[in-house]
Amino acid sequence: MGLLKEFRTFIIKGNAIDMAVGIIIGAAFGAVVKSLVDNIMMPPLGYLIGGVDFSAYSYQLTPALTAGSTHPITQVVIEKDVPAVVIGYGLFVNALITLVIQGFAVFMIVKSINWMKRREETIPAPATMPADVQLLTEIRDLLRERG
| pLDDT tens sequence across 7-48 | 888 777 767 777 888 889 888 888 888 888 888 887 887 788
C-alpha distance from residue 82 to each of 36, 72, 126, 141, 145 (Å): 35, 12, 76, 96, 101
The more confidently predicted of residues 88 and 1 is 88
Mean pLDDT of the chain: 83
| pLDDT for 125 beyond 70 | no
- Residue 16 has a pLDDT of 76
- Residue 13 has a pLDDT of 75
Per domain, the residue ranges of the chain are 2-125
Nearest to 84 by CA among 100, 118, 60, 104: 60
- The one-letter amino acid code at 43 reads P
From the number of C-beta atoms within 10 Å of its C-beta (0-12, 13-18, 19+), residue 36 rates as: middle
Fold of the 2-125 domain: 1.10.1200
Q: How far is CA 63 from the centre of its chain?
A: 38
- Residue 14 has a pLDDT of 67
SS3 58: coil
Q: Looking only at Cα atoms, what is the longest distance across the chain? A: 117
| pLDDT for 1 beyond 70 | no
Is the CB of residue 83 less than 8 Å from the CB of residue 64? yes
| pLDDT for 95 beyond 80 | yes
Q: What is this structure's pTM?
A: 0.53
| pLDDT for 53 beyond 80 | no
E strands present in the chain: 59-62, 85-87
